[in-house]
Structures are given as C-alpha cells and as structure tokens.
C-alpha cells in the first residue's frame, strides 16, 4: 500500500507529521513517500504541482494532503498560486466524489452553536459530486442579453448540467458508503424547479433498485438546509450535486463547532483518494506547534477505510481520538475550562499511546 505524503504549506507539515506518526504506529505494510506541493513546491521547483509530485500522487493508492496557501503568494499569477495544486490533483486524478463527515464528539458539544442535545453524538456523511454541475458546465460567460426585459444589457450566465453516468456513479458511491454505516441515503435536489435535478432524482431512484438494503429518501435543498440545523441526527448519508454540496457541507461542518476536527476525502472511480483536513494552512499559527492535528489524523483513518480497505485500522484511530478527548487533552482551538491544553506533537503522541 503506497501513500503519497504531500504536507504543503503553513501548518501542513506539522499536522501531517502527526498523522504519519500515527500511521507508522499501526505497523501495517505502508510505503510512504513525501513530495512538495503548493507554495513549498513553488519555492522548490517553480510550480505548485510539479510533475514529480503529480506522478507520485498518480502512482500511489492514496494521497495524504496537509494544506496549501499563504497570503504571500496572493500576488502570483493565478496558475502559479498554491491553491492550483488542489484543483490540478482533483482534475488529474479524476476525483469526483467528495466525502465530508460531520461528527460531533460528546466532549466537544459546547463548541457547537446548536443546543448540545441536538448535536451530541452527531455522525453524518455528506457526499458531494465534485466535477460537474453549474461550476463547470459550458457555456458560460458574459454577453449582451439577447432577449428578455433587459435585452441588450450586460449579463452573465452559467450552465447547470449533469449527465446520467455522472449521477449514476455518485449515487453508487453513496449507497456503498451507506452500507458501511447506517444504511440510509438522503438525496438532496431541487427537482421541483430544475430539469437537471429532476434527472438527478430519477437516476438516483433507479440506481437504488440495486441497493434494496439501503433506505432512500429525497429532500429539496432548502428543506435539507433547514433540517440540518433543526434535527441533524436524522441524517446518515446525504448525497448531492456540486453546488448544493458545497454549501451544505460547510453548514454541516459548523454543527460540530470545530474546523480543526474535520477530515475529508475525495475519491475517483478506482477508489484512489486524496485525504485532507477540511481546514486551510492557517498561516497565522504556522510554526508555533499549536495546530490541532486531529482532522489530519482522522483523514488518515478515512484513507485506511476507503482507499486501503483497512477498516479495523481506521476504527482503531477513531477510537484512539475519542479516548484522547475523554482524557481531557485539547489543543488550544478546542480548549475548554478544566481540560489540559497540549501542542501539536503532544496530541499526536497521545493518539499513538491511545491506539492501545
Ligand atoms: P484556515 O482554515 O487556514 O484558517 C481559519 C482559522 O482557523 C484560522 O484562525 C486558523 O488559525 C484556524 N485553524 C485552521 N486550522 C486549524 C487547526 N488545525 N488547528 C487550529 N486552528 C486552526 O483558513 P484561511 O485563514 O481562510 O486560509 C488560510 C490559507 O489557507 C489561505 O491561503 C487559503 O487559500 C488556504 N486554504 C487552503 C485550503 C486547502 O489547502 N485545501 C483550504 C482552505 C484554505
């Protein structure tokens, strides 16, 4: 099992080092190779995604990614900015399925803006289609409006598109993921208004025939946004398109209250995936040894579950994180009165000890 380790910028190298420490402690036959990405790669090789880094990612079974970006690169031409590395990797590896779990640990319910009883024990998974929809649909652009009440005025337009195979493959990913969880999928659409999402709903319903052991319901996106704050625990897996998923996954992330705790994954058709924390490179705290490494450690657990097919090892890491929180250890971002505040490396060491 080969893993490409791409630490990136800011706190990336600090938090990835802790995840690597935890992976090594599992004593599995894992081959890990590190390469620069983002601003670090621009400094070293003049490009945020050098050919050698891309080749390593393509050969690996999975990529463990830290974060990229720093304000100092904001004046570079767009193709050379660190963030282009993520877009390049998504495109080159064909990563079309984005997994964003929202998990609220009992000990951290105080960090949520919702009442503790609504979020305690929350465990939902949002699966967002990542390569289609209005973000990429052609044609798009600006022009003089050809018709309508404002004909001749400047207008901008984008095109929302989804094809049957695109919907089928993301629906299958969602049903398969639900089989590893509580066997319930909510497909989120806007079929009452949009043709694109009428096709979405029809195709998801058809694919569901192959998964009779999984429960399926459909929900309009406006209602889904409401239900996520009203009764989030009634969801298990949510599957939706690129734009709705972009918005709902950030909403769900905030239910848990702490960005430093949230892993994510993006997978392609071969099950190869890129695993990264949901947060950015946090240049404001880089190099201080205070960043929370748990989102990256939990991303490594997702990698073991979804790309490397080692669910028991994934369970071990997740249980170790639970144990560390139960022991009262916290990094500064999730600290609360009565807890012991530790740094990045101490948190990584504590997770290793808690693996048992
Ligand atoms: P950010 O997520 O990096 O930071 C937001 C806030 O959360 C900061 O106060 C930061 O200190 C804190 N924070 C983030 N992760 C933390 C952790 N693990 N432990 C403790 N505190 C943490 O978002 P930003 O400040 O808007 O962006 C900073 C840089 O990151 C920018 O260059 C941006 O482009 C980049 N970015 C990269 C990615 C990515 O690599 N996938 C994603 C988002 C932002």
User: What digits encode the pLDDT tens for the residues 159-180?
Assistant: 999 999 999 999 999 999 999 8
Q: 1-96+268-356, which class in CATH?
A: alpha beta
CA of 186 to the centre of ligand 1 (A): 30
In this structure, the strands spanning 340-341 and 329-330 are parallel
Q: What order do you get walking across the sheet with 62-67 strand by strand?
A: 31-34, 2-8, 62-67, 273-277, 263-267, 97-103, 123-129, 237-240, 184-189, 215-220
Residue 292 Cβ contacting ligand 1 at under 6 Å: yes
What local confidence, expressed as pLDDT, does residue 273 receive?
96
Residue to substitute in 10, 69, 335 for testing ligand 1 pocket (most ligand atoms within 8 angstroms of CB): 69
CA of 156 to the centre of ligand 1 (A): 31
**pLDDT of 186 higher than 90:** yes
The yes-or-no answer on residue 306 being catalytic is: no
**pLDDT of 312 higher than 90:** yes
**pLDDT of 95 higher than 80:** yes
| 4 alpha-carbon distance from chain centroid | 17
Question: What mean pLDDT, rounded, does the chain reach?
Answer: 95
What local confidence, expressed as pLDDT, does residue 19 receive?
98
| The two domains 1-96+268-356 and 102-260 share their CATH topology (first three levels equal) | yes
Rounded to 10°, the helix 344-354/294-306 angle is 40
CA of 279 to the centre of ligand 1 (A): 5
Helix (H) or strand (E) holding 87: helix 84-93
Please answer whether residues 242 and 135 qualify as being in contact, where contact means their C-beta atoms are separated by less than 8 angstroms.
yes
What local confidence, expressed as pLDDT, does residue 113 receive?
85
Confirm or deny that 112 is annotated as ligand binding: no
Residue 310: band (very low, low, confident or very high) from pLDDT cuts 50, 70, 90: very high
pTM of the entire predicted model: 0.89
Q: What is the DSSP string of 243-279?
A: HHHHHHHHHHHHHH--GGG-EEEEE-TTS-EEEEESS
Radius of gyration of the chain measured on its C-alpha atoms: 21
Q: For residue range 317-356, what is the model confidence (pLDDT) as tens digits? A: 999 999 999 999 999 999 988 999 999 999 999 999 999 8
Distance CA 308, CA 299 (A): 12
| 299 alpha-carbon distance from chain centroid | 9
CATH number of 102-260: 3.40.718.10
**pLDDT of 257 higher than 80:** no
Q: For residue range 98-153, what is the model confidence (pLDDT) as tens digits? A: 999 999 988 888 888 899 999 998 999 999 999 999 988 999 999 999 999 999 99
Q: Looking at ligand 1, which atom is closest to the CA of residue 332?
A: 20
Q: What is the DSSP string of 140-207?
A: -EEEE--SSTTTTSEEEE------HHHHHHHHHHHHHHHHTTTSEEEEEE-TTT-HHHHHHHHHHHHH
Domain ranges within the chain, ordered by starting residue: 1-96+268-356, 102-260
Please answer whether residues 297 and 264 qualify as being in contact, where contact means their C-beta atoms are separated by less than 8 angstroms.
no
Confirm or deny that 330 is annotated as ligand binding: no
Q: For residue range 266-302, what is the model confidence (pLDDT) as tens digits? A: 999 999 999 999 999 999 999 999 999 999 999 999 9
Confirm or deny that 246 is annotated as ligand binding: yes
Residue nearest ligand 1's atom 27 by CA: 280
For the beta carbon of residue 287, count every other beta carbon within 10 angstroms: 11
Of 190, 201, 236, 306, the catalytic one is 190
Q: For residue range 38-84, what is the model confidence (pLDDT) as tens digits? A: 999 999 999 999 999 999 999 999 999 999 999 999 999 989 999 99
């Amino acid at each position: 099992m080969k893993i490409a380790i791409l630490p990136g910028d800011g706190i990336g190298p600090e938090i990835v080092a802790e995840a690597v420490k935890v992976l090594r402690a599992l004593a599995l036959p894992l081959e890990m190779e590190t390469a620069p990405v983002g601003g670090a790669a621009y400094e070293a090789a003049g490009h945020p995604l050098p050919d050698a880094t891309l080749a390593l990612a393509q050969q690996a079974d999975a990529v463990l990614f830290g974060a990229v970006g720093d304000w100092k690169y904001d004046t570079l031409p767009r193709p050379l900015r660190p963030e282009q590395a993520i877009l390049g990797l998504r495109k080159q590896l064909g990563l079309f399925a984005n997994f964003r779990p929202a998990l609220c640990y009992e000990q951290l319910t105080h960090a949520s803006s919702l009442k503790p009883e609504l979020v305690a024990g929350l465990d939902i998974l949002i699966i967002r289609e990542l390569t289609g929809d209005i973000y990429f649909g052609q044609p798009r652009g600006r022009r003089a409006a050809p018709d309508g009440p404002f004909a001749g005025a400047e207008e901008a337009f984008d095109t929302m598109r989804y094809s049957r195979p695109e919907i089928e493959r993301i629906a299958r990913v969602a049903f398969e993921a639900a089989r590893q969880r509580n066997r319930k999928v909510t497909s989120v659409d806007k079929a009452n208004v949009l043709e694109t999402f009428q096709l979405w709903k029809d195709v998801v319903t058809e694919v569901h025939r192959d998964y009779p052991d999984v429960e399926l319901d459909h929900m309009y996106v406006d209602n889904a946004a409401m239900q996520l704050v009203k009764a989030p625990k009634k969801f298990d897996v949510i599957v939706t398109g690129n734009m709705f998923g972009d918005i709902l996954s950030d909403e769900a992330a905030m239910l848990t209250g702490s960005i430093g705790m949230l892993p994510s994954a993006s997978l392609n058709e071969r099950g190869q995936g890129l695993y990264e924390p949901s947060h950015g490179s946090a240049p404001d705290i880089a190099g201080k040894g205070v960043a929370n490494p748990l989102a990256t450690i939990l991303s490594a657990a997702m990698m073991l579950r979804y790309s490397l097919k080692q669910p028991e090892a994934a369970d071990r890491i997740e249980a170790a994180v639970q144990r560390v929180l139960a022991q009262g250890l916290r990094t500064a971002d999730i600290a609360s009165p009565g807890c012991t505040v530790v740094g990045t490396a101490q948190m990584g060491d504590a997770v290793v000890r808690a693996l048992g």
